Structure 1
């Protein structure tokens, strides 16, 4: 029997093709298959057969005879499908004339002519796809006590990773159901439609337990990170062990400094601004901090502007655009603006307004206020960040640097040290922050050590800190030769006093660095 729709079959198929070109669908075989199946079955006159069991066997590959009442995977993906359709029509499909929707309570699609601004569709839906992570129950656990501990551990990891706006995290309730279906990880990844799977195992022998946590790329089954935790079995009874493991795992994986985005950045070169894809904002951030030069800066600035134009509600995009302006200001690159720091602050504030959990926005604002020499505002934004329920480790290091530069040495030092201990993939200026700290404390050997670790990523500040440290250590020859290198790269119109005061807000630190550099100047050149 042929059914009649308010729009033609040709229009429906054309609209389906447009929808499936949306980035989220291109990254999800399950959502693509789900939508194609229910539309094709409806157009073929078989809408009455679109039941949960049929979709489970035909789309999700469930075995014949499976019980949909005990397996919520079809309902889970149907909810995701409705949400992504809403995102599509809030973004690239906003002006489309054909609306395809799947009302709650049914799996039968509805086709209709669409007004330019359809009622009930949010303006705030994000059109930037994120990597999806599922925490899968630990495997091969026979002891009930170990099962209970593993469940608590997985649930807390899942909950804490949910605070990172850069990731889409599937609820542990959904992924835990995989434990009852005896699926291998590859099939679990397909069923959950997760880009990454976090799982592990627990072994117990005598009075010791060994806990292994692994992060796996779902499609390739490649192990991209793992860590082993070994403790006394008696520690399983309290929350301290669980909290320690969760803290370490979350900071290794979550946020823009985590392994997921480091891995992604390796494989994806910067694309043209007209080809914004899944996590270009994150990838650009890595190119910006790891290969700082003016052509890269200009390319990245173009990409980030296009990203927020593509999706004005992408909070992380606004935060990184702001940080790009700050980086350009620091290195003296032309952003073609009268006041790039003011623009950076506007971007950071917009990011926080869109999503207060976007932690990069706090770093953007902290750095921008620091360069504006607005100590009060800098400390205030850091205090706001401290109130967040979960604080990203990489951002902690950046804000620790801001605190040291603003004169709050001990608090800044603690944040920097904690950041580096948890995750060694940090930016060169973290080393500069630690060098500033030790110099301010009169610990010149340590100040020189951290200055050496800058390794040319900012030759100016490396030479300043090394020359000052050598001078205070009485290493006259090294101090003089380093100062000579410094003098040779200084612009004619800029003095060292101006450079030291550009963002160091501690008068005592600026004074001590200035004295040490003057002592290093064997030819008595004016600093």
Structure 2
């Protein structure tokens, strides 16, 4: 052990705790376990035993007798450990009193006491983007061997599709298969793959049906956090229909800003401070805003998202979500601290695509921004560009379907919206507004009221408008009166500016005029 003579074991352990609280370590069982093991062994005077084989069996759960010459995993993770320590000390650990390092070519840590200077360098801004790691473990096939091809196809396609969700890191299916072939349990597999979550499942069949069960497991606790079962006709086994249908459902239930991973993460700890980016990045705040949107949470979220892209200017998803936040601020009339929120939204969306042309959320941000800017051609163009990606993200499909309906392309928009809400029930409230508009233009007024009420008053004005015009057509004038009286209470000059409100994002003059004339009937 190389250390300054004045460093006590308690001081080293305190420094270890500071490092382990850094999300790069706290989100990685392997990195935290690796560093803890070599530090504790060194403090106990067993540093001479810190060899590749010892670390492999104690940290990476390698089987007794494994050959480090044939398995380079310890060397690979040692390199990751050194990079993680460098990242910590160039960020939140910049002014820490003790430096723990692992020299190349060895696994014995160094401990160095740093004497504080009179004039300290400025503390570096914490730069952390939380990206959970997902691995797909081969499904267990019960009974017939010919189901193995379907199982491998499902797993491989799930891995491939998750690479389109740039808020999640995906372990290659080849690595997962290799680990699973060792016959270890899911918790151990998660540790070896350094995966936060594992997808696994089973396939069985009888004469007529194939049943596929899929589970999402949190690897640190081995707890199942989501599961679903699918039954399909065995006669479809020779096609890709079974595989495509199941994969689409799985990835949209689990991935994306509305998926189970980020819903679980966002509610895991209460939000205490607007600048607490050590815990929450753009994705967490986006989900939180969707479910508890008010001006206070909006302002906090805006600050966090602005800081997030400042900390990591190459974070495409952060730019996309920041852009959508500006658009939301414009829609609700919140103070965005900029003169032109929609222009800022467009800039952020374009920045995201310049970093990552497959950043799906950026297409939604630009679609919404162009819609509110009354640039329908640009809105439709960005939607077509997203469609060319052939993505299976139904969350984004729903957002762009809403844009299409507002632009007057009702059937195309409805197709995307209806598919989106069938796959993922945790969609944002404004999808309901699009469905209400769609049914109104089809003269299906009861359905229009149904979807307006599902907005749950998150945009009271539009809920009341869509209900009022539908009730007029249904000749339910007592319900009309209730809606219009409440509209006037919220906006005293509503009747004078009603057409301006209708045209705030609707692009079809025909629809705007129809709604306006119907509202005039309500006024009478």
Secondary structure of residue in 2 paired with 1:143: coil
* 1:94-121 Cα deviation digits (max 9, x unpaired): 8999795776x98688999xxxxxxxxx
Query: Structure 2: how far apart are the matches of 1:92 and 1:49?
Result: 31
Flag the 1:248–1:73 CA change in 2: closer, same or farther, 3 A. Answer: farther
Q: Residues 212 and 231 of structure 2 are in contact (CA less than 8 Å); yes or no, is this contact kept in structure 1?
A: yes
Residue matched to 2:342: 341
Residue matched to 1:404: 405
**Post-superposition offset of 1:212:** 0.4
Query: Structure 2: how far apart are the matches of 1:473 and 1:285?
Result: 38
**Post-superposition offset of 1:465:** 0.3
- Residues 395-404 or 383-392, more deviating: 383-392
Residue matched to 1:515: 517
**Post-superposition offset of 1:322:** 1.7
What TM-score results when the alignment is normalised by the length of structure 2?
Answer: 0.86
Residue matched to 1:213: 214
After superposition, residues 163-312 of structure 1 pair within 5 angstroms as 163-312=164-313
Query: Structure 2: how far apart are the matches of 1:285 and 1:402?
Result: 19
**Is residue 162 of structure 1 aligned with residue 163 of structure 2?**
yes
What TM-score results when the alignment is normalised by the length of structure 1?
Answer: 0.86
Secondary structure of residue in 1 paired with 2:298: helix
Q: Residues 214 and 228 of structure 2 are in contact (CA less than 8 Å); yes or no, is this contact kept in structure 1?
A: yes
Is there any run of 5+ residues in structure 2 with no aligned partner, and where?
Answer: 113-125
Flag the 1:49–1:357 CA change in 2: closer, same or farther, 3 A. Answer: farther
Q: CA RMSD in A?
A: 3.3
Q: How many residues align?
A: 508
Residue matched to 1:135: 136
Secondary structure of residue in 1 paired with 2:210: strand
- Residues 397-406 or 90-99, more deviating: 90-99
**Post-superposition offset of 1:459:** 1.1
* 1:30-68 Cα deviation digits (max 9, x unpaired): 112324555787999999976542321132233322345
Is there any run of 5+ residues in structure 1 with no aligned partner, and where?
Answer: 113-124, 523-527
Flag the 1:106–1:18 CA change in 2: closer, same or farther, 3 A. Answer: same
**Post-superposition offset of 1:470:** 1.0
* 1:151-179 Cα deviation digits (max 9, x unpaired): 22111111111210111111111111232
Query: Structure 1: how far apart are the matches of 2:41 and 2:354?
Result: 43
Residue matched to 2:460: 459
- After the TM superposition, list the runs of 4 or more consecutive aligned residues in structure 1 that deviate by more than 6 angstroms: 7-18, 39-49, 93-99, 105-112
* 1:475-505 Cα deviation digits (max 9, x unpaired): 2332233222222211438611110011111
Flag the 1:257–1:406 CA change in 2: closer, same or farther, 3 A. Answer: same
Q: Residues 321 and 347 of structure 1 are in contact (CA less than 8 Å); yes or no, is this contact kept in structure 2?
A: yes
- Residues 156-165 or 92-101, more deviating: 92-101
Q: Residues 275 and 303 of structure 2 are in contact (CA less than 8 Å); yes or no, is this contact kept in structure 1?
A: no
* 1:332-370 Cα deviation digits (max 9, x unpaired): 112222212222222222222222332222212211121
Flag the 1:372–1:33 CA change in 2: closer, same or farther, 3 A. Answer: same
Residue matched to 2:505: 503
Residue matched to 1:119: none
Query: Structure 2: how far apart are the matches of 1:286 and 1:448?
Result: 26
Secondary structure of residue in 1 paired with 2:146: helix
Flag the 1:449–1:229 CA change in 2: closer, same or farther, 3 A. Answer: same
* 1:198-221 Cα deviation digits (max 9, x unpaired): 100112223322110011122222
**Post-superposition offset of 1:72:** 6.0
* 1:196-243 Cα deviation digits (max 9, x unpaired): 111001122233221100111222222221111112334333322111
Query: Structure 2: how far apart are the matches of 1:184 and 1:71?
Result: 20
Query: Structure 2: how far apart are the matches of 1:353 and 1:47?
Result: 48
Residue matched to 2:25: 25
**Post-superposition offset of 1:17:** 6.9
* 1:298-344 Cα deviation digits (max 9, x unpaired): 22222222322333332222222222221111111122222122222
Secondary structure of residue in 1 paired with 2:139: coil
Flag the 1:268–1:203 CA change in 2: closer, same or farther, 3 A. Answer: same
* 1:241-273 Cα deviation digits (max 9, x unpaired): 111111111111111111111122222322313
Flag the 1:232–1:52 CA change in 2: closer, same or farther, 3 A. Answer: farther
* 1:263-309 Cα deviation digits (max 9, x unpaired): 22222322313321344322211221222211121222222223223
Flag the 1:101–1:515 CA change in 2: closer, same or farther, 3 A. Answer: farther
Query: Structure 1: how far apart are the matches of 2:175 and 2:76?
Result: 8
Flag the 1:152–1:76 CA change in 2: closer, same or farther, 3 A. Answer: farther
- Residues 384-393 or 242-251, more deviating: 384-393
Residue matched to 1:117: none
Q: Residues 28 and 196 of structure 2 are in contact (CA less than 8 Å); yes or no, is this contact kept in structure 1?
A: no
**Is residue 34 of structure 1 aligned with residue 37 of structure 2?**
no
Query: Structure 1: how far apart are the matches of 2:234 and 2:6?
Result: 64
* 1:445-471 Cα deviation digits (max 9, x unpaired): 322221122222211001100111111
